[in-house]
Structure 1
Amino acid sequence: MAKTNRILMTGAAGIIGQQIRQGLRDLATHVRLSDVEDLGKPGPGEEIAPCDLTDTPALRGLVRDCDAILHFGGISTENTAELIHRVNIDGVYHLYEAARKEGVKRILFASSNHAIGFHTRETRLTASSLTRPDSNYGVSKVYGEALASLYWDKYGIETLIVRIGSCFPAPKDRRMMATWMSAGDMLRLIGCMLDAPRLGCPIVYGVSDNDESWWDNSETAYLGWTPQDSSAQFGHLFADDPAQDPNDTAVIYQGGMFAKARHFED
């Protein structure tokens, strides 16, 4: 595939951003990196552009001249409703508005499995499955998915909505053996997004080719993305763990502890 000229990655200092940062150089000639945290010195082909998603006027300059945006920025766990709203809801709206005004036509929106976290693990989900958020954070991701749909239908901005499972260097618990996504598979998915002649606004479950799977990406097979990694290599990490309680809310529902947790502010 030919390299994209310039892409922007928000949340570049986060867990996913750190893992894929170097690999983005193979996909784009210029990589603009943004976060409120320190991003260090720019590497070859990189631009460092600190920006807060709540700084609406600055967002237009941030997205200007970009061919695509990888939006990993925002609050990535449960938090107060006020903070989630300000950063994950208002922030993503203003990012899309900046993209519309600056003519950016392709976005990756980092959604989450917590947008569908109150489905049981026995329920195999597709892109057409109903959202069932398990938290304020999950609700913010449902909002972002709806906003992406609106901006595609009304303004022609294409978005790859990725319901990310658990994109860490290795699974942290037994649940993540089913939800884990490797950095390599994320980069391959981004490559498919950039290379697709027509993207539209598909929903893809961001998960590697794990032995246990709750999600079905057949509806978006036209993207040509085939995960190549598997959590099976980490099975030994949890071989001695005690058996899980099948009546535990965190085991029943796909959202795990997010589904089980009480209200964040209680």
Structure 2
Amino acid sequence: MSLVLTGAGGQLGRVLRPRLLARGIPLRAVDISPITPVDPRETIVIGDLRDAGVVDEALEGATAVLHLAGTSVERPLPEIIENNLVALHALYEGARRHGVGRVVFASSNHTIGMYPAGQKLRLSDPYRPDGFYGISKIWGEAIGRLYRDKYGIEGVALRIGSALTRPTEPRHLATWLGDDDLEQLVVQSLTAPISGYQPVWGVSANTRGWWDNGEAAELGYQPSQNAEDFAAEIMKTGGRDWVFQGGSFAED
């Protein structure tokens, strides 16, 4: 596998780059801002993914893409459109030009953020986004399915919960995705056989979890982390119990 990782300088990119390189995966790290290689085996591409030239430089010779780039918080709609819709379309067009076999897309729990906290969900449940950011991730899942159906580019959409080194608030007891599980889920999403376009929940094996993740199990994902290990500490320090699954995004 020759892997391109976009958004390499972001929170998740910084966690994953050394871990993927340690697995021996050749990695081209892409970001709009300057970043420093974490390993001599890592190639760096700096530029804006809305620029076809940057996309071509990034995807030359690639077999797979892990797309983490984009605006990751709620922002005005014009910014969301440029960074999460226009740039993603440019990336998929580049993947089509260069014959990339698979794109793993960082989707989000904010696609369903207006469901009540505590309600059990399956991936087949209707979208209920909690803002423009959540809508952009619905777009991302849709464009991935389009390029799978029309052009044969395999895809996995990771509906990431709360990807953190450790959970810090009551909501995370349901939504937490630990670093070890993030790594495993990404690797399985990049390598496991899939028959179509596959959304999965990006979440650890949390005792209080809200989301049925049978589809991720079909990829061979076997999470080993559980936010319950931190429950006593979290409940002692307190924190708000949100009304909706999207937490603060749903109430801003």
Say if 1:153 and 1:40 are closer, same or farther in 2 by CA, change over 3 A. Answer: same
The match for 2:63 among 64, 67, 71 is: 67
User: Secondary structure of the residue that 2:78 maps to in structure 1?
Assistant: helix
User: Secondary structure of the residue that 2:46 maps to in structure 1?
Assistant: coil
Establish whether residue 116 from structure 1 lines up as the match of residue 109 from structure 2: no
Q: What corresponds to 1:127 in structure 2?
A: 123
Of residues 78-87 and 236-245 in structure 1, the stretch that sits farther from structure 2 once superposed is 236-245
Q: What corresponds to 2:90 in structure 1?
A: 94
Establish whether residue 50 from structure 1 lines up as the match of residue 50 from structure 2: no
- 8 Å Cα contact 1:29-1:45 kept in structure 2: no
| Runs of at least 5 residues in structure 2 that lack an aligned partner in the other structure | none
TM-score computed with the length of structure 1 as normaliser: 0.89
Of residues 68-77 and 54-63 in structure 1, the stretch that sits farther from structure 2 once superposed is 54-63
- C-alpha distance in 2 between matches for 1:39 and 1:199: 35
Instruction: Report deviation, 1:116.
Output: 0.7
- 8 Å Cα contact 1:111-1:163 kept in structure 2: yes
Q: How does 1:224-235 map to 2 (within 5 A)?
A: 224-235=220-231
- C-alpha distance in 2 between matches for 1:244 and 1:190: 30
Establish whether residue 161 from structure 1 lines up as the match of residue 157 from structure 2: yes
- Cα shift readout 1:158-191 (whole Å, capped 9, x = no counterpart): 1110000011112232211211101211111122
Please give the root-mean-square deviation of Cα atoms over the aligned residues, in Å: 1.6
- C-alpha distance in 1 between matches for 2:174 and 2:165: 14
The match for 1:210 among 206, 213, 223 is: 206
Of residues 143-152 and 225-234 in structure 1, the stretch that sits farther from structure 2 once superposed is 225-234
The one-letter amino acid paired with 1:179 is T
Establish whether residue 136 from structure 1 lines up as the match of residue 132 from structure 2: yes
User: Secondary structure of the residue that 2:118 maps to in structure 1?
Assistant: coil
- C-alpha distance in 2 between matches for 1:253 and 1:235: 20
| Runs of at least 5 residues in structure 1 that lack an aligned partner in the other structure | 246-250, 262-266
Instruction: Report deviation, 1:217.
Output: 1.2
The match for 1:253 among 231, 244, 250 is: 244
The one-letter amino acid paired with 1:14 is G
Say if 1:163 and 1:29 are closer, same or farther in 2 by CA, change over 3 A. Answer: closer
- C-alpha distance in 1 between matches for 2:94 and 2:239: 49
Q: What corresponds to 2:144 in structure 1?
A: 148
Say if 1:76 and 1:243 are closer, same or farther in 2 by CA, change over 3 A. Answer: closer
User: Secondary structure of the residue that 2:177 maps to in structure 1?
Assistant: coil
- C-alpha distance in 2 between matches for 1:122 and 1:230: 17
- 8 Å Cα contact 1:42-1:48 kept in structure 2: no
Say if 1:29 and 1:259 are closer, same or farther in 2 by CA, change over 3 A. Answer: closer
Establish whether residue 19 from structure 1 lines up as the match of residue 20 from structure 2: no
Instruction: Report deviation, 1:42.
Output: 4.5
Say if 1:206 and 1:65 are closer, same or farther in 2 by CA, change over 3 A. Answer: same
User: Secondary structure of the residue that 1:160 maps to in structure 2?
Assistant: strand
Instruction: Report deviation, 1:69.
Output: 0.3
User: Secondary structure of the residue that 2:125 maps to in structure 1?
Assistant: coil
Establish whether residue 175 from structure 1 lines up as the match of residue 171 from structure 2: yes
**Corresponding residue pairs, total:** 252
The one-letter amino acid paired with 1:39 is I
Percent same amino acid at aligned positions? 38
The one-letter amino acid paired with 2:246 is G
